[in-house]
Amino acid sequence: TEGDIIQEFYQLIDRHTPQLVSWNGSGFDLPVLNYRALVHQVTASRFWEMGESQDYDAREFKYNNYIARYHLRHLDLMDLLAFYQSKANAPLDSLAKLCGFPGKMGMDGSQVWPAYLEGKLPEIRRYCETDVANTYLMYCRFQLLRGAFSKEEYELEVEFVKKNLLQEANKPDGSHWHEYLSGFTNDVS
pLDDT digits (tens, 9 = 90+) for 24-57: 999 999 999 999 999 999 999 999 999 887 776 7
Cβ atoms 100, 184 nearer than 8 A:
yes
Where does 7-154 show beta strands of DSSP type E?
A: 20-22, 74-76
Predicted pLDDT of residue 25: 95
Is the full-model pTM beyond 0.85? yes
Q: Which of 105, 104, 86 has its CA nearest to residue 96?
A: 104
Predicted pLDDT of residue 70: 84
CA 42 – CA 7 distance, rounded (Å): 6
Share the mean pLDDT of the chain: 93
Predicted pLDDT of residue 189: 46
Integer-rounded Cα Rg, in Å, for the chain is 18
Q: Residue 102: is it exposed, middle or buried by C-beta count within 10 angstroms (0-12/13-18/19+)?
A: buried
Q: How confident is the model at residue 88 (pLDDT cuts 50, 70, 90)?
A: very high
Predicted pLDDT of residue 61: 87
Predicted pLDDT of residue 106: 82
Collapsing DSSP to helix, strand or coil, 20 comes out as: strand
pLDDT at 187 over 60: no
Collapsing DSSP to helix, strand or coil, 8 comes out as: helix
pLDDT tens for each residue of 54-64: 776 778 888 89
| Amino acid occupying residue 99 | C
Predicted pLDDT of residue 56: 63
CA 177 – CA 115 distance, rounded (Å): 20
pLDDT tens for each residue of 3-16: 999 999 999 999 99
- DSSP assignment, residue 43? -
Long-range pairs of 27-33 with CB within 8 A, sequence gap ≥ 24? 27/76, 27/78, 27/79, 28/109, 30/74, 33/6, 33/9
Cβ atoms 127, 104 nearer than 8 A:
yes
- DSSP assignment, residue 23? S
